[in-house]
Amino acid sequence: MDSNRRSPQTVLYVEDNADDFALLKLASQKCGTPFSLQHAEDGEQAVAYLDGSRAYADREEYPFPDLVLLDLKIPRLDGFEVLQWIRRNPATKALPVVVLAGSSFRADIRRALELGANSYAAKPGRFEELQVLIDQIADVWLAREGVRG
């Protein structure tokens, strides 16, 4: 692993709602920790991206992510199924996954954490709150060793 790497880290956001993706992209551009945001619209796309298969075979264009932001309510494979796939696959089992979900039901939170999510956050209702959340996630999961901002 190259610790002197200058390119921004990559975050894969698995989200089927185009408006939610656009808001997170805008919030991420204002984030203190710059990162490259990639997108998968459903669970099957997420697995293909992580596996580097099909349309995602080019790792220059679709780099392996440093973090996954995962919605639970997505088509094809739901977020729980994607999370199970991530934790069962040797290449992805240590990948940090933050569930960013519209639901704050205790059962969903518990199940996501039991399946191996590193953290769980409810999607904020206001843009300013989303910016704060993205900054917090970046500080925790994308902080580079030896780099202080």
Residue 4: inside a domain, yes or no? Answer: no
Q: Which amino acid is at 62?
A: Y
The alpha carbon of residue 10 and the mean position of all alpha carbons in its chain are separated, in whole angstroms, by: 9
Q: What is the pTM of this model?
A: 0.90
- How far are the Cα atoms of 13, 40, 64 from residue 18, in angstroms, in the given order? 11, 11, 22
The domain total for the chain is: 1
Between CA 48 and CA 52 the distance in angstroms is: 6
Full residue range of the structural domain in which residue 109 is found: 11-141
Q: Tens digit of pLDDT per residue, the chain (149 long)?
A: 444 445 789 999 999 999 999 999 999 988 878 899 999 999 999 999 999 999 999 999 999 999 999 999 999 999 999 999 999 999 999 999 999 988 778 899 999 999 999 999 999 989 999 999 999 999 999 975 544 43
Residue 102: inside a domain, yes or no? Answer: yes
CATH number for 136: 3.40.50.2300
